[in-house]
Amino acid sequence: MKKYLLILICLPALLFTACKKELSDNFITYSNHPLNDTAWVKHFSTTGSINDCFDLFRPDKLLVDSFNAQTGGTVNFGDSISLTFPANALLTQSGSGLPSDIVKLFVLPIRTKGDFIKFFKPTTTADGSILETGGGLYVRAFCGDNEVSLAPGVRVKIRFTDVDIPKPNMQAFYGKESIPFLVKGIDTANSWFRDSDTSYLPLWSKLSNNPPTSSYYGYELNAVNLRWMSAERYTDSSLPKVKVTAILPPNFTNKNTAVFAVFANQKTVVNLNGDYPSRSFFANRIPLKTAMKLISVSKIGGDFYIGVTNISSVEAVTSYKILPEKESFHDLLKHLDSL
């Protein structure tokens, strides 16, 4: 990975080695290059290049299957995901009956911290509470060209695996959207809200015959909504909280960059908001002593950048620098998938 830092060079002897450096706290102009744009916007705009970056993260293929909505049934995606629908469980979004019996399901598993970044679904609630997740699913159902939803009072039994050992005190949460998924742009207003049934989710496992050990393990969720759903729990609210601020070189603005706090010892991802007056990114309510990484993702022109700052323990002084480095889109994806 090559570092690209903006530095002013005065000595001709250093010009050759300096040609690879592009970004730092000092700023020089580049002829007809988007790196020159250091302007922030007061309100997030869907026209910023960071939206283009996250549009590229959207999956081009989802898991697809179908079932008879009149009789209901179970749809399995391998051994790791199953959805069991009761008979007559679905309605069109206008509340009317279905035009036919066959319903097609589109399913996307969200299992890793990188998934929650790529789909811009940080594990926070509308009031800023921080959650730990065990993963989840994105589920859409269509009858013909019409998206359908669950009838009032109906719950669908959904089982999905976790990449980590499941925890016994997770609860059902659903994603709140202001922009539907697969529509252009980042939904910065998204959040998670808890099911009215706050009981802990049952755990499940599937044994293999050779050897006779647990091959799959995960959560069972009786969902009252489709689309985004996840096994989550509130983090320890008794720990002191602080505001964490990330400072990047001037080329990296809220138009071309998104920043996340990725916790080290649990599956938690927090989005850092862009702060126009200070030209920095921040998140409130980060627990003291948290081990985490600050991850920045940027698209400037046709180039992609990632910045990583490791924090062994969040302290009272909570301003951290991030120095992004240029990467290919392929390597950027690999980095996020490794989180």
CATH number at residue 184: 2.60.220
* 79 and 213 within one domain: yes
The tokens for 179 are: 């922009």
Amino acid at 95: G
Determine contact, residues 251/35, Cβ cutoff 8 Å: yes
The stretches in the chain having pLDDT less than 50 are: 1-24
The domain of 145 spans 63-234
Tens of pLDDT, residue by residue over 268-281, are: 999 999 999 999 99
* 168 and 230 within one domain: yes
In a domain, 218, yes or no: yes
Alpha-carbon distances, residue 6 vs 25, 170, 300 (angstroms)? 7, 46, 14
Residue 179 has what pLDDT?
79
Query: Nearest 5°: CA angle at 153, between 150 and 156?
Result: 55
Query: Nearest 5°: CA angle at 120, between 258 and 199?
Result: 135
Domain of 317, CATH number, reads: 2.60.40
In a domain, 247, yes or no: yes
* 241 and 226 within one domain: no
Tens of pLDDT, residue by residue over 52-78, are: 999 999 887 899 999 999 999 999 998
Residue 12 has what pLDDT?
37
* 168 and 260 within one domain: no
Determine contact, residues 335/307, Cβ cutoff 8 Å: no
SS3 57: helix
Q: In what order do the strands lie in the sheet with 319-321?
A: 319-321, 241-247, 280-287, 269-275, 257-263, 292-300, 303-311, 325-327
The tokens for 10 are: 């005065």
* 261 and 194 within one domain: no
* 263 and 210 within one domain: no
| Residue after which a domain boundary falls, among 202, 234, 266 | 234
Residue 181 has what pLDDT?
76
| Residue after which a domain boundary falls, among 217, 234, 251 | 234
